[in-house]
Amino acid sequence: MKFFSVDSPLYRFLVRFLDVLKLNFMWLLFSIPVITIGASTVAAMSVALKMTDDEEGYIGRSFIKAFKENWKQGTLLGIITAVAAYAVYLDFQLFNAVEGNPFMFLVIGIVSCFVIVLSLLYAYPLIARYENTLIKTIQNSFEISRRYFGRTLLLVIIVLFEVFIFQFNSTMLFFGILIGPAFIIFTVAAFSKRIFQQIEKEPGSVIEKSSDEDEKEEE
């Protein structure tokens, strides 16, 4: 039946759903030590970047390869993300705890959130796709977020909406555990890759494709 052929939308949807399911399992498995969440996210982002153009190959093998290649920078970025998020959390806690709710704490918290998102949102896909220092990667993430602010804002809104949907009720929470992290990572990867490809075409681009990335794409 044509409805169940390999070219049918249903078949392609089921294949992609299984890919996301596998990717989510790998992300959860490699995030169990907690400190490796950053490296696991970078590895998942590497696979997701390829998935956007149907280049991912074997999910498990690609994930493990990317994890080994980026575990150091990914782990450090994960720690930076956790520390930054906790600092913002403490700021808002102080805002609620201090008598009179000092307006300055609120301003600092909001501005900090803004800077953290701009600095880290594209950092994970940048590490997954390019070779660079961690500091330069964070700087590039901030510059890309600033330059493509409209797209970045749309991406943040979509991700927040996905997080909300996955917590909407017990059924969606189940799907959130099943595919949620990988689905969000895929969303970020899809936005990021279009921006990266656009920047790569520019003369004197601040980000250039590494020879290692060329080998990954050939695989």
- Under DSSP, the state recorded for 3 is G
**pLDDT band at 204; cut points 50, 70, 90:** low
217, 121, 141, 193: CA torsion to nearest 10: 30
- Residue 96: predicted pLDDT: 84
Predicted local confidence at residue 56, as pLDDT = 63
How high is the pLDDT of residue 219?
32
pLDDT at 212 over 70: no
Which of helix, strand or coil describes residue 144?
helix
**How confident is the prediction for the chain on average, in pLDDT?**
87
What's the CA gap between 19 and 195, in Å, rounded?
23
Pull the structure tokens for residue 150. Answer: 């409209």
For 101-155, how does the pLDDT look when each residue is reduced to its tens digit (9 = 90+)?
788 888 898 999 999 999 999 999 999 999 999 999 999 999 999 999 999 999 9
CA 12 to each of CA 5, 6, 76, 211: distance values in angstroms, whole numbers, following the listed order: 9, 7, 36, 31
Looking at the chain, the number of H-run helices and the number of E-run strands are 9, 0
d(CA 69, CA 133): 14
| Reported confidence tier of residue 2, pLDDT bands at 50, 70, 90 | low
User: Which is higher by pLDDT, 54 or 14?
Assistant: 14
- Model pLDDT, residue 205: 64
Q: Which amino acid, 126?
A: L
pLDDT confidence of residue 162 = 94
Tell me the pLDDT tens digit for each residue of 7-53.
667 777 787 888 899 999 999 999 999 999 999 999 999 999 998 87
